[in-house]
Amino acid sequence: MSRYQDAALFALLAVAWGAGFSAIEVGLRTLDPVLFAGYRFDVGAAVTLTALAALGRLEVPQVRADWEAIFAAAALLVFGNVFFLFVGQLYTSGSIASVVYSLNPVLTVGFAAVLLSGAGLAARDAVGIVLGLIGVVLIARPDPTATAAAPANAPEFLSPVFAVLGPDGVGAALVFGAVISVAAGSVLLRRIEAPMASLPTTGWAMAVGAVMLHAASLAMGETVTVPSGTDTLLAVAYVGVVASSVGYGAYFTLMRRRGPFTANLVSYAVPVVASLTGWALLGEQLPPVAIAGFGFILLGFLVLNREVVAEELHRFGV
Residue-level pLDDT, tens digit, the chain, 318 residues: 466 677 788 888 888 988 999 999 999 999 999 999 999 999 999 999 999 999 999 999 999 999 999 999 999 999 999 999 999 998 888 888 888 888 887 777 777 776 665 555 567 667 777 777 777 777 666 544 444 555 555 666 666 666 666 677 788 888 989 999 988 888 888 888 889 988 899 899 999 999 999 999 999 999 899 999 999 999 999 999 999 888 888 887 887 777 766 676 777 778 888 888 888 888 877 778 777 877 877 777 777 666 655 665 555 555
Number of domains in the chain: 1
Predicted TM-score (pTM) of the model is 0.80
Answer whether 44's CB lies under 8 Å from 240's CB: yes
The reported pLDDT for the residue numbered 237 is 96
DSSP summary character for residue 157: G
CB proximity list for 169: less than 8 A, separation 6 or greater: 140, 141, 142, 143, 146
The reported pLDDT for the residue numbered 147 is 45
CB atoms within 10 A of CB 259: 16
Task: Please name the residue ranges forming H helices in 143-197.
Answer: 159-192
The rounded distance, in Å, linking the Cα atoms of 33 and 236 is 12
The reported pLDDT for the residue numbered 146 is 46
The reported pLDDT for the residue numbered 145 is 47
Range of the domain at 100: 3-315
The reported pLDDT for the residue numbered 34 is 95
The alpha carbon dihedral of 78, 83, 87, 88 has a sign of negative
314 Cα distance to chain centroid: 32
Nearest CA to 239 out of 9, 33, 11 is that of: 33
Nearest CA to 297 out of 274, 275, 264, 273 is that of: 264
The rounded distance, in Å, linking the Cα atoms of 284 and 98 is 13
